[in-house]
Amino acid sequence: MEDKITNILVVGIGGQGVMTATEILAEAAIALGQDVKKTEVAGMAQRGGVVSSHLRFGRKVLSPQITPGTADLLLAFESAEALRWCHMLKPGALVLMNTAKLVPPVVNIGLYEYPADPVEEIRKRGYEVRAFDAMDIAMNLGEIRLGNTVMLGAVGDHLPFPAEALLDAIVKRFSARKPALVELNRKAFAAGRAAAAATQAQKEAA
């Protein structure tokens, strides 16, 4: 693993599993001997409000807060939230985003206008984007709640440690709590990993 601090911002809407995904990423880094700091901001998370989670890991991490303009990667469970938080990214950073549209309350109450094309807007700002419908993938596997595991699969090949280490953290969590769901989560992880790889292949072929 590289001797540097990795900054990952995870964002989405309450109920999508943003904080659970961040916890699993943290557990994977801890299992590999990394110092980990994380913090969450859940605005009415239980009611579908916006949720953001900062995760930092490396040899020694002093603060859990990511400074604007320094995030290495944005893992976005919702498209508009990806656009709203991309100012946190460093130049040329990677954005992995779910394209399924879930309109947050800030739009419904008129504080924020839902963007017409979040993916294109983010690309215009110079960021690398891998976009796919995680909810559709989860539904095809028979369980919409697998969306967060799909997202974790997507980020698996873009971490400073092997994707298998992240999958191990997922399996460990479900083995202890819901062993019957282990195989289903393995499939969701593989599907998310494949979806992110497919978007890159499409870009290279274009």
pLDDT tens for 5-19 read: 999 999 998 888 899
Q: Whole-prediction pTM value?
A: 0.90
- Residue 75: phi and psi, rounded to 5, are -105, 105
Backbone angles phi, psi at 48, to 5 degrees: 90, 15
What CATH number is given to the structural domain containing 47?
3.40.920.10
User: What three-state secondary structure class fits 21?
Assistant: helix
In a domain, 1, yes or no: no
- Quote the CA–CA distance of 50 and 124 in Å, as a whole number: 24
Report in angstroms the alpha-carbon separations of 107 from 66, 98, 111, 128: 25, 18, 6, 26
Instruction: Please give the tally of structural domains in the chain.
Output: 1
pLDDT tens column, 50-91? 789 999 999 999 999 999 999 999 999 999 899 989 999 999
User: 50 lies in which domain range?
Assistant: 6-205
- Whether 184 is covered by a domain: the verdict is yes
Question: Residue 120: in which H helix or E strand, if any?
Answer: helix 118-124
The answer to whether residue 120 is domain-embedded is yes
